[in-house]
Amino acid sequence: MVSPRSGAAGPARTARTARGGLRTLRDAEPLLRGPGNALPPLVLGAGPDEFLRERLVNAFRAGAESEGSEFRRLEGDSLDAETLAGALATLSLFGGAQRIWIREGSKMGSATEEILLAWADAPGEGVSVLVTTARELDELKFLGTLAGLALTVPCRARGGEGLEWAELIAREEGLKLPGATVETVYRSAPDLLSFRQEMRKLAAYADGEGRVPARALDALREGGAGASVERWARAVLAGSAAEAREETEALEREGIGGTSALWALAECALGALEPQSFYYRRGGRVPVPLQAAKARAVLDQVYQADRALKRGEIRDTELASTLVQTVRRAIRG
């Protein structure tokens, strides 16, 4: 096995770079934008929210640019042990610090994982590594072990954090929106990346002071209104009984659902099982927080309903309301 050598040239790290520990993204961003000698050797960004992972990477890259250090991107799903060992041991081409971003770190092979863990246990000077993954720490033993050697930044908006990020996005896009517009758009968007896209659409209509004409706001509201099989599926899987009932009624009023609703559930369940390769690549969506066993139970109900439909045991118009009952029962166990 190839092992990375330590002791590469670079500025000495300060006492602020102790290994382990947890930081919010808001606290981590200025740290990653700062000088390399103030960085922990290893930072782990783990969680399903692609927008938050993107901000973490942008801060890491901005720090490299500001100090003139080399920035390298490695893809975890195609990264072998020898390549990683060489990257960790190689002096920067510019003779200074080096920052390495490993994307999809949860998809590295076991030999590559061992190289990273060995380096993190005795990191060389002048090298800082950021590992990002859509998986949660408790999903893989490797991630839990890595978290003990890294500064960990959770990449999932919890509670009111999502709305706080939405308000920040609107400000960063230079928008001054009336009343509860930000919250209304945020509640109708499937995730923060989609919310940002909506804000950028509004920004195209904004005047020099960031104010948006009423016609643009009306168009946005109309575009987000009505039924949505994706919103219905998320309500069934992760919402309250009232939310699931409301979304089901919306589907029935507009005469949509049926097999579209069936496969919307299947996509959410498959995305929970393999978020990186299946779900978020289909549109930047945040996977529904389902444990693997529950996601498989949902898929079982989807396949049973599909078989019943093909046998004529259930009508297409009955699929959505039937799945609400069977799927929520399966999730409860």
> pLDDT tens across 25-34, in order?
999 999 999 9
Between CA 125 and CA 89 the distance in angstroms is 10
- Give residue-wise pLDDT tens across range 248-262: 887 777 677 677 788
Q: Is the dihedral of CA 147, 155, 161, 34 positive or negative?
A: positive
- Which pLDDT score, from 0 to 100, does residue 95 have? 54
Q: What is the mean pLDDT of the chain?
A: 83
276 pLDDT higher than 60 = no
Per the structure block, which two tokens stand in for 243?
A: 């939310």
In this prediction, residue 110 has a pLDDT band, given cuts at 50, 70 and 90, of very high
Domains and CATH numbers, the chain: 16-154 (3.40.50.300), 161-224 (1.10.8), 229-332 (1.20.272)
- Give residue-wise pLDDT tens across range 125-168: 889 999 999 999 988 999 999 999 999 999 998 878 999 999 99
H/E run at residue 74? strand 70-75
User: Would you say 135 and 145 are in contact if contact means Cβ atoms under 8 Å apart?
Assistant: no
Report how far Cα 210 is from the mean position of its chain's Cα atoms: 28
Between CA 71 and CA 64 the distance in angstroms is 6
Between CA 13 and CA 27 the distance in angstroms is 19
pTM of the model: 0.65
Between CA 331 and CA 305 the distance in angstroms is 16
In this prediction, residue 119 has a pLDDT band, given cuts at 50, 70 and 90, of very high
